[in-house]
Structure formats: structure tokens, C-alpha cells
Amino acid sequence: MNTQDPVGLAPVSKGRMQAIRKLLQRKGRRNEGKFLAEGPQAVREALLRGGVDELYIVTETAHHHRGLIEIAHEQGVAAFGGTEQDLASISSTVTPPGIVAVASFLDVPWSEVIAARPRLLVICDQVRDPGNAGTVIRCADAFGADAVVLTEDSVEAYNPKTVRATAGSLFHVPIVVGMSLSDVVTDCRAAGMQVLAADGDGDMLLPDMDAAVPTAWLFGNEAWGLPANHLEMADRSVAVPIFGEAESLNLATAAAVCLYVSATAQRA
């Protein structure tokens, strides 16, 4: 630990900041296999999971994050201190949190997930909004899903807005990326899972489904839902009953309700 600095932060160089800024772009993330996790909650979960390469903190406020810095040092993670301007330059938020971790990609192979005989899966197909994708991942974590699949047409898992919307859940739930929907559905059926598509015009209401059996939930695009040919891949389409005057539920809310019903029934 640097004896000149009571919290043990090394001064950050201009060259290092330039290199980290590349991770704000998808090309930079893909080239390096790394992404940025901003804020104390995300940094804490990233450190606890492992896989953090570097930590960056505003030097003047570093004493607020002493516990996280200690964890970083225990894991051999390099911790750097910089100015507010330095940290703002690697932040994607309007109000930068002043603490950012550089973490390695953490997606897992689909073969590994399906071989574990999952009971509850989330499949996001053509989900394009990073905030929605992140919130669905958070819901999947809350209700004990075994994994989340982002199909090849969905938003990038490591988009800063996606990472932020997960509120740390990205580091709890196995994430699979880049799969074709047809391959995922075929493998789920072979593993004995029912594949249910959440759809406002579903042919079955949520309370009427057999929620206790292993289930893969399929959620579509925020604006147009699932294309007809993708909807046909599911065993059934399921609608969440609405008793008030709301036209529909948004993606994350529908996912939360569906996953709650499945998780509760499977644990009964």
C-alpha cells in the first residue's frame, strides 16, 4: 500500500484514462473483453464475484469507499485515484458516482447452462432497450432464475445502461449472449422445459398455467413484442390478466409478474 496515501490509491496516468475511455464504446469492450461497472453497489458486487481488473476512485472522496478499496487490495486489484474530471470522463451518467470498476466479461456458454438442468430461465428476444434488459436481469435475480439469455438480436449485456439497470444483479445471474432463439427453444424442450411466451393477446391467462414445471419464459421487444414466427416457437402464449384500465404492462413489469408466479409455484 502506498504510504503517502492513507487509502492506498496509486495516481492515475493520462494514458491509462485514455485506454479506459475506450470501454465506453461497444467496439472497445469487445476488443478488450472488459466493461465498466459504476457506483458503489455495482463495484461491490463485482468485487465479491471476482473478475475485477482495476478500480478507479475520486481521490478526494475515497475515504467513503475504504471498505471496497480494502477488498480490492485483498484480491490484488489495482486501485487508482483521480480527479472528479478523470472519473467523469469514464462515466456514462449525468451525475458520475466517483467510483468505477473495470471488469472482465462474465457471460457463460449456453451448453453449460442447459446441461445443469435449469428449472427457470429467462429468454430476452429482440429486447433493444438497455434499461429494460437490465431491469429484467434484476427481476431474474430476485426470483431465482437459473440464467438469462439475450438472443443475438438483443441489446449488449455490457452496455453501461444495461449494467447500471441491473443494480448489481449482472454479477449474480449467469448470462448467455448471442444465441439464436430457435437453438435455445429446441434445447429447452429437449431438457424437459415448457417454453412460454409472454404476450398481451396470449391464448392462456397466467393463473391458468402449470407454473410448477420447469419453465423458460420468452419475452419480446418493448414496442412490438414477439414476431409471429418467434411466437410460434413457444408451447403456449400467456397473458397477464389486467383488471384495471391500463392498456398493457411494460416489459419489466410483465417479466416480474411471470417470474414471481413461476418461482412461487416451483418452491411450493
b/e per residue, 217-252, with b = 16+ CB within 10 A? bbbbbbeebbeeebbebbbebbbbeeeeeeeebebb
CATH number given to 110-266: 3.40.1280.10
pLDDT per residue over 9-18, tens digit each? 999 999 999 9
pLDDT per residue over 98-150, tens digit each? 999 999 999 999 999 999 999 999 999 999 999 999 999 999 999 999 999 99
Return phi, psi of residue 97, to 5°: -75, -15
How does residue 1 score in pLDDT terms, banded at 50, 70 and 90? very low
pTM: 0.93
Name residues whose C-beta falls within 8 Å of residue 64's C-beta, 6 or more positions apart in sequence. none
Distances (CA, A) of 70 to 47, 50, 57, 65, 206: 11, 14, 13, 9, 47
Summarize the confidence of residues 234-251 as an average pLDDT: 93
How does residue 84 score in pLDDT terms, banded at 50, 70 and 90? very high
Q: Nine-digit cell at 38?
A: 459504476
Q: What is the DSSP string of 189-219?
A: HHTT-EEEEE-TT-SEEGGGS-TTS-EEEEE
Distances (CA, A) of 44 to 101, 207, 246: 9, 38, 38
CATH superfamily assigned to domain 10-104: Ribosomal protein L30/S12 (3.30.1330.30)
Query: How is the chain split into domains, by residue range?
Result: 10-104, 110-266
